[in-house]
Amino acid sequence: MSEYKYLFQPLKVGNLVLQNRVIFGPHVTNHWPNHLPDDRTVAYYEERAKGGVGMIIIGASPVDETANYAPFVQCGLWSDDCIPGLRKIADATHKHGTPLCVQLVHPGIHQEPEYDPDGHVAVAPSEIPAIEIPFNIPKELSVDEIHEIQDKFAAAAERAQKAGLDGVEIHGAHGYLLSAFLTPLKNKRTDQYGGSLENRARFLLEVMSKVRERVGPDFVVGCRISSSDMIDGGVEPEDIAKVAAMMEAADNMDFLHVSVGLYRSMSVMIPSHVSGLEPGYQADLTAEIKAAMKSTPVFMVGRINDPMLVDRLIADGSADACVIVRELIAEPEFVNKAKENRIDDIRPCAYWNQSCLAHIFMGMRVGCQMNAAAGNELKLGKDTLVKAATPKRLLIVGAGPAGLETARVAIERGHQVTIFEKGTETGGQLNMMARMPGRSEVRNWMDWLLRQVESSGKGDIRLGSEITAENIDEILAAEAPDEIIVATGARAAADGRSSVTTEPIPGHDLPHVFTYEDLLGAEPAGEIGKRVLIVDELADRIAPGIAQMLADAGHDVEIMTRWPSIGHESLVRWGDLAPVYEALDELGVQTTTDSWLGSIEAGYVTAFNIYSMREWQIDVDTVIFSTMKYANNALAKLIGDRANVPVHLVGDAIAPRQVADAVADATKLAYEI
């Protein structure tokens, strides 16, 4: 604990005293079937309370049934039905001394009638649609309707109070209704709620005042606000500093939680690893708002992933406490591990947004690609791991994510593990991801996983050790495993097979044709010519990543995809779209959508539009496939034939999927062995 000057200093927030300066921040989880919590929801929050956080703020919860936040499914604060469930969560976090608040939201334009069974229309300060939602033109609110919504905020806060929570956070950020009133980009009104900054802030200030009036002085009331819209013509930190000062002067606010951006600036609000934004990147913006505060505690947020960084941000005066979301989804014990000086054991978030942000956009519960227990605490949480009755000798084949995660959990259960890896490095396909520009952060997680296995004293990793038909009997005799796990992963389809033609692409075996693995492997293969065509079906990070890498190195690059856009849908869900498209545009990468390859010849390819079948030729020097993958499962058959012990397949060796699936498969398997 001595390492930290501020992290473990208590902080007074209203009538609460937080035991440390780390707050599990508000985030939509979709952990609320029928807008109510279930046992999994309770366990999700309790796990982070056990992990030692100073406070928890449940994510945006709608105050108005006619603006129920569709497509998200969050706590329905519009009805007393939410009270018993919320009380269960409060009781669970209070057991560990952790105060609990809930964030109150009216989604405004981010109510999507298309996803709402009752088709409620979106409402807004003015008839301005949101750029990211096709054809969702909102209804402009009347003054009477504004007052009704304010009363709903107050009623929702009272329900949280009745449920035994410690406070509420009013969501005045991210382009939701209150923030939409603040920004001139969305608010074109000419009445007392539009025009001057004072008028645009009126809705928010009146909500704060009505909430305070309803819950009294002892219940914590905070506000979240975006320091800047990060869009030309939007609000800037100097505007928000004035709004913050108005709120402090009104004396209804116990804390101010500063975030940044609107949905349109999502890649700054919830940046992924390709954003180029450093951990703690919102420090200067937050400090500008904090400078306008006399005594209100200010919280900051943004890729905070290291206890020392928390300490530094508080020491710098950027904020009084740090709000963390994704790192705490990945590592619920962040605070306890810091306290125990076990920094190396803190599981790093990879900031890929793949099972957190992407899940909520897909209507799924929040999880974590690097931590299968997140959202599954009842089955895989900290206290569910039991030592194996009989410790076994396990032989794992393959040191990619699935192999290493199986090893990590199996070792925790008391097993002894030997890993045979035919390559010269651990990490499997993730190494390839990490070699692409701006995408190296995943290495932190791979290093953590390796550390966990190596430092246990129960994991023996043998690199450059291939199991073949010739040496298998000898290896089995020498290792005498009780069980074998085959985690041999997947390989890129070198024949260019895809779902489009379902056959290999003619010409795939020519010397100027490569796969993404050839380029990104430990020993990159082949000569890449000036004109490069990347043929993409995976629609993930690989094609744009390679394109960036090659265009940066001076190649003329075109990506051809069978989808209507590059990284179709995935890049939006992962929050990668803006930084990736910006980079591709700046590097002059050409993109051709809805198209595929008919054949490859020396010097050119024949392409076709997959809908009209129109054909054309493209002159190219190099073709790179990012098409389908094949499971590496041949070894499993060989081992199954020769070994007299149980053999399990895990991860991509079953079927090529996402890293989240490999990690989840591995954790579950290791629980069962």
Ligand X SMILES: Cc1cc2nc3c(=O)[nH]c(=O)nc-3n(C[C@H](O)[C@H](O)[C@H](O)COP(=O)(O)O)c2cc1C
Active site residues: 176
Which of residues 106, 110, 171, 200 is near ligand X by CB under 6 A?
Answer: 171
Q: From edge to edge, which strands make up the β-sheet containing 622-626?
A: 513-515, 622-626, 531-536, 556-561, 590-592
Determine, following the binding rule CB under 6 A, whether residue 356 of this chain makes contact with ligand SF4. Answer: yes
Count the Cβ atoms, other than its own, within 10 Å of residue 121.
14
Name the residue nearer to ligand SF4 (CB basis): 50 or 326. Answer: 326
**Please, which of residues 338-397 interact with ligand X by CB under 6 A?**
356-357, 360, 366
DSSP line for 81-128: THHHHHHHHHHHHHTTT--EEEEEE--GGG--GGG-TT-PPPEESSS-
Determine, following the binding rule CB under 6 A, whether residue 180 of this chain makes contact with ligand X. Answer: no
User: In this structure, are residues 592 and 609 in contact, taking their beta carbons and an 8 Å threshold?
Assistant: no
Part of the chain binding ligand SF4 (CB under 6 A), chosen from 36-44, 45-53, 65-73, 351-359: 351-359
Determine, following the binding rule CB under 6 A, whether residue 635 of this chain makes contact with ligand X. Answer: no
Min. distance of Cβ 404 from ligand SF4 in angstroms? Answer: 15
Part of the chain binding ligand X (CB under 6 A), chosen from 166-174, 196-204, 587-595, 661-669: 166-174
**What residue 354 binds from ligand SF4, ligand X, none (CB within 5 to 8 A, per partner kind)?**
ligand SF4
**What residue 312 binds from ligand X, ligand SF4, none (CB within 5 to 8 A, per partner kind)?**
none
Name the residue nearer to ligand SF4 (CB basis): 532 or 578. Answer: 578
Name the residue nearer to ligand X (CB basis): 259 or 548. Answer: 259
Which of residues 43, 77, 324, 330 is near ligand SF4 by CB under 6 A?
Answer: 330
**What residue 355 binds from ligand SF4, ligand X, none (CB within 5 to 8 A, per partner kind)?**
ligand SF4
Q: Which residue in 322, 187, 213 sits closest to 257, CA to CA?
A: 322
Omega before 71 cis (within 30°)? yes
Determine, following the binding rule CB under 6 A, whether residue 396 of this chain makes contact with ligand SF4. Answer: no
Determine, following the binding rule CB under 6 A, whether residue 28 of this chain makes contact with ligand X. Answer: yes
Contact string 81-120 vs ligand X (x = CB under 6 A): ----------------------x-----------------
526 Cβ partners below 8 Å, 6+ apart?
Answer: 511, 512, 514, 518, 622
Judging by DSSP bridges, how do beta strands 255-259 and 298-301 pair with one another?
Answer: parallel
Reduced to 3 states (helix: H, G, I; strand: E, B; else coil), residue 395 is strand
Q: Give the amino acid at 497.
A: R
Q: What is the spatial distance between Cα 221 and Cα 223, in angstroms, rounded to a whole number?
A: 7
**Please, which of residues 185-224 interact with ligand X by CB under 6 A?**
224
Min. distance of Cβ 273 from ligand SF4 in angstroms? Answer: 8
Which of residues 149, 163, 301, 534 is near ligand X by CB under 6 A?
Answer: 301
Min. distance of Cβ 131 from ligand SF4 in angstroms? Answer: 24
Q: Which residue in 447, 517, 440 sits closest to 274, CA to CA?
A: 440
**What residue 508 binds from ligand SF4, ligand X, none (CB within 5 to 8 A, per partner kind)?**
none
Determine, following the binding rule CB under 6 A, whether residue 31 of this chain makes contact with ligand X. Answer: no
**What residue 26 binds from ligand X, ligand SF4, none (CB within 5 to 8 A, per partner kind)?**
ligand X
Which of residues 355, 426, 627, 667 is near ligand SF4 by CB under 6 A?
Answer: 355
Under rule CB under 6 A, how many of the chain's residues touch ligand X? 25
Determine, following the binding rule CB under 6 A, whether residue 351 of this chain makes contact with ligand SF4. Answer: yes
Min. distance of Cβ 174 from ligand SF4 in angstroms? Answer: 18
Min. distance of Cβ 665 from ligand X in angstroms? Answer: 23
Min. distance of Cβ 377 from ligand SF4 in angstroms? Answer: 14
Q: Side-chain half-sphere of 487: how many Cα atoms within 13 Å?
A: 36
521 burial type by CB count under 10 A (0-12 exposed, 13-18 middle, 19+ buried): middle
Helix-, strand-, coil-residue percentages of the chain, each rounded to 5 = 35, 20, 45
- DSSP letter, residue 174: B
Residues forming a β-bridge with 105: 62
Determine, following the binding rule CB under 6 A, whether residue 25 of this chain makes contact with ligand X. Answer: yes
Name the residue nearer to ligand SF4 (CB basis): 50 or 555. Answer: 50
Which of residues 326, 408, 439, 497 is near ligand X by CB under 6 A?
Answer: 326
Q: What is the spatial distance between Cα 239 and Cα 9, in angstroms, rounded to a whole number?
A: 31
Min. distance of Cβ 353 from ligand X in angstroms? Answer: 6
Which of residues 82, 109, 177, 324 is near ligand X by CB under 6 A?
Answer: 324
Q: Which residue in 73, 93, 117, 109 sits closest to 18, CA to CA?
A: 93
Part of the chain binding ligand X (CB under 6 A), chosen from 318-326, 420-428, 466-474, 560-568: 318-326
DSSP line for 643-657: -SS-EEE-GGGTS--
Part of the chain binding ligand X (CB under 6 A), chosen from 115-123, 168-176, 637-645, 660-668: 168-176
Q: What is the spatial distance between Cα 643 and Cα 230, in angstroms, rounded to a whole number?
A: 60
Determine, following the binding rule CB under 6 A, whether residue 368 of this chain makes contact with ligand SF4. Answer: yes
Determine, following the binding rule CB under 6 A, whether residue 446 of this chain makes contact with ligand SF4. Answer: no
Q: Which residue's entry shows tokens 């990690």? A: 663
Which of residues 14, 52, 59, 172 is near ligand X by CB under 6 A?
Answer: 59
**What residue 171 binds from ligand SF4, ligand X, none (CB within 5 to 8 A, per partner kind)?**
ligand X
User: In this structure, are residues 463 and 558 in contact, taking their beta carbons and an 8 Å threshold?
Assistant: no
Under rule CB under 6 A, how many of the chain's residues touch ligand SF4? 14
Q: Give the amino acid at 563.
A: W
Which of residues 27, 186, 497, 541 is near ligand X by CB under 6 A?
Answer: 27
Name the residue nearer to ligand X (CB basis): 173 or 235. Answer: 173
DSSP line for 483-551: EEEE---EEE-TT---TTTSSPPTTTTSTTEEEHHHHHSSS--S---SEEEEEESS-SSHHHHHHHHHH
Phi-psi domain of 53 (left: phi exceeds 0; alpha: psi -120 through 50; beta: other): beta
Part of the chain binding ligand SF4 (CB under 6 A), chosen from 305-313, 334-342, 343-351, 420-428: 343-351
Name the residue nearer to ligand X (CB basis): 26 or 37. Answer: 26
Q: What is the spatial distance between Cα 459 and Cα 453, in angstroms, rounded to a whole number?
A: 5
**Please, which of residues 255-274 interact with ligand X by CB under 6 A?**
259, 270
Q: Which residue's entry shows tokens 């030309």? A: 232
Part of the chain binding ligand X (CB under 6 A), chosen from 1-9, 76-84, 325-333, 441-449: 325-333
Q: What is the spatial distance between Cα 394 and Cα 418, in angstroms, rounded to a whole number?
A: 6
Determine, following the binding rule CB under 6 A, whether residue 370 of this chain makes contact with ligand SF4. Answer: yes
Q: Give the amino acid at 291.
A: A
User: In this structure, are residues 166 and 18 in contact, taking their beta carbons and an 8 Å threshold?
Assistant: no
Q: What is the spatial distance between Cα 227 and Cα 287, in angstroms, rounded to a whole number?
A: 10
Residue 375 has which token pair? 């959202």
**What residue 270 binds from ligand SF4, ligand X, none (CB within 5 to 8 A, per partner kind)?**
ligand X
Determine, following the binding rule CB under 6 A, whether residue 353 of this chain makes contact with ligand SF4. Answer: yes
Q: Using CB under 6 A as the criterion, which residues of the chain lie in contact with ligand SF4 when the complex forms?
A: 326, 329-330, 349-356, 368-370
Q: Using CB under 6 A as the criterion, which residues of the chain lie in contact with ligand X when the complex forms?
A: 25-28, 59-60, 103, 171, 173-174, 224, 259, 270, 301-304, 324-327, 356-357, 360, 366
